[in-house]
Homo-oligomer: A and B are copies of this chain.
Amino acid sequence: MPRAAVLLSGCGNRDGSEIHESVCAVIALDRKGWDIVYTAPAIPQQKTVSYIDGTKLPPRNTLEESARIARGKIVPLNEIHLENIDSVVIPGGLGVALTLCDFAVNGASCSINPEVNSFLKNANELGIPIGAMCIAPTLVARCLPGTTLTIGNDRTTADKIEKMGCRHVECSADKSVVDRQNRVVSTPAYMTATGPAQVLEGAISMVTALEELLKNQRG
């Protein structure tokens, strides 16, 4: 049974992991029999907001809030051993672009949380396929220049991805873009999706592509 690490960044699209995307990813993995290990860095969220009026709330911890999506079963990122992991999946949400990296603030010149950066770089060096949803491809772009990625069809974000040395390919929400060379799959999710059913279609496409990459180990 292959095992995926689902890398979370809090709980909610405005300051953490997008909840629908996270659940669609784990449904897509679960229906193909994958084992799921939820993980997140144990660091303060860069921002915590009220989803009613956008006001700032007292800071929350990324691992603690991500654990809500994980139903309490979550492993701190620094305790994940990549030798036990077959794939890494990163749902979108502003937490990715605020806490895991600061793309939402600094765009193409963003910096990545060091722990997240080495986790993804090491995974990539070991040939572990990475799946990224919605805004998460911007994190992958900064971490792994030279990758082909999609964030749907938003030209402003696509330009920034290309500025980070990557290639952007337009894609619809129900599909995914596969970079076989770099072993990265991306799907636009709520960058273009009209609702959760489309997000699930995109997640299924992503997981199917990750499985194909797994079957074809990097030569």
Residues of A at under 8 Å CB distance from B?
Answer: 11-14, 16, 18-20, 23-24, 26-27, 30-31, 36, 50-52, 58, 63-64, 67-72, 74, 190, 195-197, 200
Cα of A20 to Cα of B72 in the assembled complex, Å:
13
Cα of A51 to Cα of B68 in the assembled complex, Å:
6
B63 x A52 contact (CB < 8 A): yes
> Smallest Cβ distance from A53 to chain B, in angstroms?
9
A200 x B52 contact (CB < 8 A): no
Top 6 A-B pairs, shortest CB-CB distance? A51-B67, A12-B68, A23-B23, A31-B197, A30-B195, A30-B197
Residues of B within 8 A of A69 (CB): 12, 19
Known contacts A11-B12, A196-B23; is-contact A51 B72 (Cβ 8 Å): yes
A72 x B14 contact (CB < 8 A): yes
Cα of A71 to Cα of B30 in the assembled complex, Å:
24
Cα of A20 to Cα of B22 in the assembled complex, Å:
9
Residues of B within 8 A of A197 (CB): 27, 30-31
Cα of A31 to Cα of B200 in the assembled complex, Å:
10
Cα of A50 to Cα of B200 in the assembled complex, Å:
29
Residues of B within 8 A of A24 (CB): 23, 27
Task: Return the chain B residue nearest A63 by Cβ.
Answer: B52
Cα of A197 to Cα of B204 in the assembled complex, Å:
12
A20 x B20 contact (CB < 8 A): no
Residues of B within 8 A of A196 (CB): 23, 26-27, 30
Task: Return the chain B residue nearest A68 by Cβ.
Answer: B12
Residues of B within 8 A of A68 (CB): 11-14, 16, 19, 51
